[in-house]
Chains A and B, each alone.
With several copies, the nearest count.
Chain A
C-alpha cells in the first residue's frame, strides 16, 4: 500500500522554495471574553500548498467553519499568525484571492441565476461583455446552461448549490474555500457533484479547502484530510491520501479507500471523546 501517514502537521521549518498558499502558525481564536468565552481554535499549525485539495472533517463545533472563515478574513484570529499567499488574510480578501462557497447556496432570491453569478463580477468591475462571457462559461462548467434566466427558488437544491459554486468560480480565484457545500443534498446528487468538483480541480489546478461531515466524501475528494477535535478546536491528525488524481466513483469500494475511511473514522472517534 502506497500510503503516507503524517500524524504531525507539516513542520514550519521545512520551508521549500514554493510558498504555501495557506500557512497557519500556532493559530488561536477565542470567541467572547470572560466566563462565556469559547476557544474555537487552539494552536493550529497547517500548510496548504498550491494545487492541494484539503478536507476538514470533525464533529460539530470543532472549528472547521471558524478556520475557513479565518482564512477568508471573515474572523480575526486572537493569536498566532496566518498567511494567505504570503499576505495577511485581510490583504488577500481585498485582492479577491479566493472564492467562498457557503453551506447553503445563499443565492440572492431577487436575482436570476445569471445575475447571481454576475454579482461578484459587477462588484469587481468587470466589463459588461466580460461578465456575460464568464457567466456563460461557468454555467456551462456546472451544467446549468439554459437556467441562467431562472430564479433560485425555481431550481432544485442541487442546482442551486451548483449555481453557488459557479458564482465562486466566476472570477477565477486560485483558492476555493468551501464550507460543507453539499451538506444539504441527497447522496446521489452529492456523488455527482463530487465527481464534477474533482474534474474541475484536476483541470484547473486550483487550491481547495473543503469542510465536510461525510467521511466518504472527504476521502474521495482530498489529497489531504485534516481531522479536527473539539473543545478546544484542534487538529487531531492530518491524513495524506495516496489515491490517484483520477478517481472514478467506484474507487470507494476499493480496499485502499476503505482503509483510509476507516482511519479517518478512528481518528474522528478518538478525537470525539465525550458526547
Chain B
C-alpha cells in the first residue's frame, strides 16, 4: 500500500515535469503555426526563432503556452495526448482492426513468446552444458559475452535475409532475433543457479551414491529456480525488444515495431509514444506474469515469501 502511494507520487511528479517540459519543447512549432495563422509573434520569422532559446521564446510569447499541450506533431506530446491515443487505439478500436494497438501488441507478443521459448530453451541447454562440461564452460562463456556486444539491429536485416533465402519467413525470423537477445541472461542466471548448491548439498548426494541425472533433477534444478526466474524476467523484456527490432526490417508489416516505425515515418510523435508505452506496458505485464508464476511455483516449493 505504501509502495503504491510512493509510485503514484513519483508518477505524479514525472507527469508534472513532463507537462512543464512540453512548453519549451513545442514552443517553436506552435509559434510557426501561429505566425502562419497571422498572429503576431516575437521574433517574427521562423529563421530568427531557430537560433533563439526556447525559454526566451516562451517568455516573449506566453499566450502560446496552452497550445503547446495540444500540438498535432509535437516534439514532445503532452501526457494526456499519449493517454488519449492509447485509449483510442486499445479500447475504442476493434481488436481485429489494423489500427488497434492490441492487434499489433498481439502480433509482437507471439514473436516475443516464441523467441523467448527458443532463447530460454537454448539458454538452459547451454547452461546445463557449461555446468557439466569444463570445455564448454571455458570456451563458450567468453563468446557468449562477445555475442552481446554485437549490435543486433545491424544483424537483424541480414538474419532476415539469410532466413528468407532458405525460405523461412513470418514469425520465425523475428523470434530468432528475440531469442538472440534473451538467451544470454538465461545462460548467465542459469549457470549461477545450477552452481548454487553448496558443497554440502552436493556431498549429501554423493553419500547417497546418486547418479548425475539424479543430482541434476533433485538438487541442481530445484535450487536454480530463483535464479532462473530472475533471469527469465530480464530475458522476456529483452525478447520483446528483439521482436520489435525484428519487425523493423521485415517491411514493418504489423506489430508494435511497425507502429513505431510508421509513426516515425509519418512524424506521428503521439503514435510513437503510445506504441512505446504500449511496449513498456506489455513488458511490465509479461514480467508481472512471470513473477506470478514464480510466486506460485516457489510457494509450492516451500520458499518463504
**Chain A positions near chain B (C-beta within 8 angstroms):** 69, 72-74, 93-94, 96, 98-100, 102-104, 106, 108-112, 119-120, 122-124, 151-153
Can you list 15 A-B pairs with a CB-CB distance of less than 8 A?
A73-B206, A99-B207, A100-B203, A108-B223, A109-B302, A110-B222, A110-B225, A112-B302, A123-B208, A123-B210, A124-B209, A151-B302, A152-B302, A153-B302, A153-B304
The interface residues of chain A, by DSSP majority, are classed as: loop
Closest to A110 in B: B301
Residue contact A104 to B200, C-beta cutoff 8 Å: yes
Residues of A within 8 A of B225 (CB): 110
* Interface flag for B214 (CB, 8 Å): yes
Least distance between B218 CB and chain A CB atoms (Å): 7
Interface size class of B (residues with CB under 8 A): 20 to 34
Residue contact A93 to B206, C-beta cutoff 8 Å: yes
Residue contact A98 to B302, C-beta cutoff 8 Å: no
Least distance between A161 CB and chain B CB atoms (Å): 14
Since A110-B223, A110-B225, A119-B218 are in contact, a sample of 6 more A-B pairs with Cβ atoms closer than 8 Å, ordered by chain A residue number, is: A99-B207, A103-B200, A108-B223, A111-B222, A112-B302, A123-B210
Closest to B221 in A: A110
Residue contact B218 to A74, C-beta cutoff 8 Å: no
The interface residues of chain B, by DSSP majority, are classed as: helix
Closest to A121 in B: B208
Residues of A within 8 A of B302 (CB): 109-112, 151-153
Residue contact B214 to A123, C-beta cutoff 8 Å: yes
A-B contact count (CB 8 A): 60
Residue contact A93 to B207, C-beta cutoff 8 Å: yes
Least distance between B83 CB and chain A CB atoms (Å): 40
Least distance between B215 CB and chain A CB atoms (Å): 9
Give Cα A108–Cα B201 distance, bound, in whole angstroms.
8
Closest 4 CB pairs of A and B: A151-B302, A110-B301, A100-B207, A120-B208
Closest to A94 in B: B209
Least distance between B12 CB and chain A CB atoms (Å): 30
Residue contact B206 to A109, C-beta cutoff 8 Å: no
Give Cα A73–Cα B223 distance, bound, in whole angstroms.
25
Known: A108-B222, A110-B301, A123-B214. A96 touches B200 (CB 8 A): no
Give Cα A123–Cα B222 distance, bound, in whole angstroms.
16
Least distance between A66 CB and chain B CB atoms (Å): 13
Give Cα A103–Cα B303 distance, bound, in whole angstroms.
22
Least distance between A84 CB and chain B CB atoms (Å): 12
Residues of A within 8 A of B200 (CB): 102-104, 106
Least distance between B227 CB and chain A CB atoms (Å): 13
Residues of B within 8 A of A106 (CB): 200-201, 204
Least distance between A191 CB and chain B CB atoms (Å): 25
Give Cα A127–Cα B223 distance, bound, in whole angstroms.
25
Least distance between A177 CB and chain B CB atoms (Å): 8
Give Cα A135–Cα B214 distance, bound, in whole angstroms.
20
Give Cα A94–Cα B208 distance, bound, in whole angstroms.
8
* Interface flag for B252 (CB, 8 Å): no
Closest to A164 in B: B204
Least distance between B121 CB and chain A CB atoms (Å): 23
Residue contact A100 to B204, C-beta cutoff 8 Å: yes
Residue contact A74 to B219, C-beta cutoff 8 Å: no
Least distance between B299 CB and chain A CB atoms (Å): 10
Residues of A within 8 A of B206 (CB): 72-74, 93
Give Cα A151–Cα B214 distance, bound, in whole angstroms.
21
Residues of A within 8 A of B304 (CB): 151, 153
Residues of B within 8 A of A108 (CB): 201, 219, 222-223
Least distance between B66 CB and chain A CB atoms (Å): 50
Residues of B within 8 A of A93 (CB): 206-207, 209
Least distance between A74 CB and chain B CB atoms (Å): 5
Least distance between B131 CB and chain A CB atoms (Å): 18
Give Cα A123–Cα B218 distance, bound, in whole angstroms.
9
Residues of B within 8 A of A110 (CB): 222-223, 225, 301-303
Give Cα A259–Cα B17 distance, bound, in whole angstroms.
75
Residues of A within 8 A of B210 (CB): 123
Residues of A within 8 A of B222 (CB): 108, 110-111
Closest to B205 in A: A123
